């Protein structure tokens, strides 16, 4: 019940934050213009690896929306800074564990973003494909919160490297940059050479961005994606919990 209350609080608080809607809206408007200009040349060149011009535009626009829904809320930044400054005590005395609390918070935020952006996805599908693929659209209600949870856990694992060496948050920044390619946010993974596409499709990033978009377009299996996401969530949560526990012992041993 505590986790549900945290997710509910995060869901409601997102709509109260100034700029919560404006910032992503401006970003999406700019990126839609860039991506639309880049892929529009396909209209005169038939298909590209099985994608028509309309399909690749729909993929590009929806993937940008997905990237905003699954983006982290910034708590790993705060945790990394507090570790480095020796100010973790407020996190350690909470009655509910830090990782479960922040995971539920991330889920709530992603649901709030999703509620706001689902109509945009429907509009993209109708404008590009002439139809709204309703089963795929509803699949986002399950796949994107799980993807957001995965994204948080990966960032948390990287950020808690601060327990062991200074300025580890650069790893999160590097990961965010890498994810633009590895998650298929800019280029569908199946446009890469087969060996590269196969390798990327095994990484967590693909299950945060690429496969949810493919499922939304009716081009991949929903059940396979959810099963893979749940498996990744369990593995990542176990790793994050282990690193956090070991890090806390180290932190306390040095007088934190």
Residue 193 gets the label, from left (phi > 0), alpha (psi -120 to 50) or beta, of beta
- Using alpha carbons only, how large is the chain's radius of gyration in Å? 19
**Residue 169 token pair:** 């948050």
- What's the distance, CA 198 to chain centroid? 20
- Tell me what pLDDT residue 27 has: 84
Closest listed residue to residue 23, CA positions, set 105, 124, 108, 113:
113
- Tell me what pLDDT residue 78 has: 67
- Tell me what pLDDT residue 33 has: 87
Closest listed residue to residue 75, CA positions, set 151, 16, 15:
151
Which parts of the chain register pLDDT below 70? 1, 18-20, 41-47, 49, 74-96, 166-169, 250-256
d(CA 178, CA 251): 30
d(CA 256, CA 147): 33
Which backbone phi and psi does 179 adopt, to 5 degrees? -65, -25
Question: Degrees (nearest 5) of the Cα angle 248, 98, 239?
Answer: 65
d(CA 184, CA 206): 7
- Tell me what pLDDT residue 84 has: 64
In whole angstroms, how far apart are CA 35 and each of 41, 58, 62, 122, 237?
11, 10, 11, 18, 34
Model pTM greater than 0.85?
Answer: yes
- Tell me what pLDDT residue 9 has: 76
């Amino acid at each position: 019940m505590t986790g549900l209350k945290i997710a509910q609080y995060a869901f409601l608080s997102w709509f109260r934050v100034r700029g919560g809607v404006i910032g992503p809206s401006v970003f999406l408007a700019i990126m839609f213009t860039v991506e639309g200009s880049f892929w529009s040349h396909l209209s005169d060149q038939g298909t590209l690896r099985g994608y028509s011009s309309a399909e690749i535009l729909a993929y590009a626009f929806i993937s940008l929306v997905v990237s905003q829904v699954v983006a982290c809320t910034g708590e790993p930044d705060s945790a990394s800074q507090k570790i480095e400054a020796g100010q973790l005590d407020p996190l350690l005395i909470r009655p509910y564990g830090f990782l479960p609390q922040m995971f539920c918070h991330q889920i709530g935020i992603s649901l709030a973003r999703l509620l706001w952006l689902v109509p945009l996805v429907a509009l993209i599908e109708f404008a590009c494909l002439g139809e709204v693929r309703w089963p795929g659209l509803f699949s986002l209600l399950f796949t994107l919160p799980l993807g957001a949870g995965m994204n948080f856990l990966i960032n948390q694992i990287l950020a808690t490297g601060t327990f062991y060496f200074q300025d580890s948050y650069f790893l999160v920044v590097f990961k965010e940059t890498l994810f633009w390619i590895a998650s298929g946010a800019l280029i569908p993974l199946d446009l890469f050479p087969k060996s590269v596409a196969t390798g990327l499709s095994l990484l967590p990033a693909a299950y945060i961005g690429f496969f949810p978009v493919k499922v939304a377009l009716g081009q991949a299996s929903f059940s396979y994606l959810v099963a893979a996401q749940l498996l990744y969530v369990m593995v990542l949560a176990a790793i994050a919990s282990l690193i956090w526990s070991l890090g806390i012992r180290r932190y306390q041993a040095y007088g934190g």
